[in-house]
Structure 1
Amino acid sequence: MAQEQRWTNGGDERVVETVVLAANTEGLRFAVGRGFVERERYVLDGEREEWVDLRLADDARER
């Protein structure tokens, strides 16, 4: 699972995103169980695997 953190608005807002292979149902359950919400599903050009972009929900970031 690849994870990145992005700082926006001069550091006032922290956005945490992750990407999970859609076939990895255990990984998706893990991410959702920790407060991530699905944003997008896609297949990269020339590939067959579906990927899921997730973002940490606002209320989960406040924990």
Structure 2
Amino acid sequence: MAPTQDAQDTPDGYVGLDAEHAERQAHDRGWSTVRQLPPGAIVTMEYRAGRLNFEVRDGTVTRCWKG
């Protein structure tokens, strides 16, 4: 399933949300893969359509980006 292209579903809209709620919301909006990462995690640089990445600190999304 392709990610939602709705302008109201931008990655910045997930920042500040509880990580579990944010992940459910992202899946409900069509993101096929949601990745929760700790601050400073080393990740590969390949871009994957349909993936949303969350940086999570203390159970809250502090950063979010596509791919």
Is the TM-score greater than 0.5? no
Higher strand share: 1
TM-score (norm 1): 0.31
Q: Which TM-score applies when normalising by structure 2?
A: 0.30
Select the structure of larger CA radius of gyration: 1
Higher RCO, 1 vs 2 (CA within 8 Å, ≥6 residues apart): 2
Q: Larger % of helix: which?
A: 1
